[in-house]
Structure 1
Amino acid sequence: MILFNRGLLLTILLAVLAGAAGAWLAGRHVVQRHQQPSLHAFVHEELALSSEQERRLEVLEQDFAVRRHAREAELRAANAELAAAIQARHEYSPEVQAAVEHFHHAMGELQKETILHVLAMRTVLTPEQAVKFDRRISEALTDQAL
């Protein structure tokens, strides 16, 4: 039977986490290089907005930016909790589980804020613009962009 000391176990855990993070970042980079313009760019560049629509969207975007930054700060705090919990005991402890749950909750709240923002943006559009917007949202959510 092979006995693992804590240092070796921690090294293996950190190597696995670093490998997963690297793969995730590389995947994001590849996807972003082949992605359509952002929803923001699509709305402002391809929907021929009136100046009144631009003004109303700017208000929505400023409000969302504040809420998004708050949610992102909560995600960073949850990650810091997770790091501290792992470092404290080097096992999947109740503290690690709580930190993971905190992170998932914060991520879910950010997703809700984003969905509410997208729906609020839609209310500013004309019916013709909304058809294009809806198509773009559907493509983004189902990964069917051409």
Structure 2
Amino acid sequence: MSARWKSIVVTVLLAAVASGAGAWAGVNWTAKRHEPASLHEIVHRRLDLTAEQTNRIDAIEEDFAVRRAPLEAQLRQANRRLAAAIAANEGNSAEVQASVDEFHDAMGALQKATIAHAFEMRGVLGPDQARAFDAAVADALLQDSR
């Protein structure tokens, strides 16, 4: 292979590697930039909690994990029933609509429990922490609407 062809091959390979690395970095940067903070991250990493607050919030989180598990199971079951109803019916039947309603009820119950959990944790915070918490939660909720 001549020196000219070697130079062309090396240039093409370097361009491919550079474009792949650039694409990977861009995707990762965009994903991290748009990923809202979790409630756990907001409370434990962004607020300066006292040891007592940390203990109380840890207990609240453990309690919520126990309450959340059956709500998530109910949501998964409703989703399976919805999938079965769609597979068994042609079109938007009464059975499909009933399954959609069941799914929405399960999703709503989980969302209400999650909001109650957030307010329960907020009750442990001091006034300045609560303001920071509210702002971070509002920002996280608004991420999807941007």
**1:72 equivalent in alignment to 2:72:** yes
CA distance in 2, matches of 1:83, 1:37: 31
User: What is the match of residue 33 of structure 1?
Assistant: 32
Following superposition, the deviation at residue 91 of structure 1 comes to: 2.6
CA distance in 2, matches of 1:105, 1:46: 33
Percent pairwise identity: 49
**Which sections of structure 2, spanning at least 5 residues, go unmatched?**
1-27
Following superposition, the deviation at residue 61 of structure 1 comes to: 0.4
Considering fraction of residues, name the structure with more helix: 2
**Shift >6 Å, 4+ stretches:** none
**Is the partner of 1:143 in helix, strand or coil?**
helix
Specify the code of the residue in structure 1 equivalent to 2:32: R
Q: Structure 1, residues 98-140: CA drift from partner, whole Å, max 9, x if none?
A: 1110001111111100110010010000111111111112212
Asked if 1 retains the 8 angstrom alpha-carbon contact of 2:36 and 2:141, the reply is no
Specify the code of the residue in structure 2 equivalent to 1:46: R
CA distance in 1, matches of 2:100, 2:59: 34
Q: Structure 1, residues 22-74: CA drift from partner, whole Å, max 9, x if none?
A: xxxxxxx9985322432211211121111111110011101111222211111
**Which sections of structure 1, spanning at least 5 residues, go unmatched?**
1-28
CA distance in 1, matches of 2:29, 2:71: 26
Aligned length: 116
CA distance in 1, matches of 2:49, 2:94: 51
Asked if 1 retains the 8 angstrom alpha-carbon contact of 2:37 and 2:140, the reply is no
**Structure 1 residues 82 and 114: CA distance shift in structure 2, 3 A:** same
CA distance in 2, matches of 1:30, 1:89: 43
CA distance in 1, matches of 2:128, 2:119: 16
CA distance in 2, matches of 1:102, 1:62: 27
CA distance in 2, matches of 1:71, 1:56: 23
Which one has the largest radius of gyration? 2
Specify the code of the residue in structure 2 equivalent to 1:38: S
CA distance in 1, matches of 2:102, 2:140: 27
**Is the partner of 1:91 in helix, strand or coil?**
coil
Asked if 1 retains the 8 angstrom alpha-carbon contact of 2:74 and 2:106, the reply is yes
CA distance in 2, matches of 1:68, 1:31: 30
**Is the partner of 1:125 in helix, strand or coil?**
coil
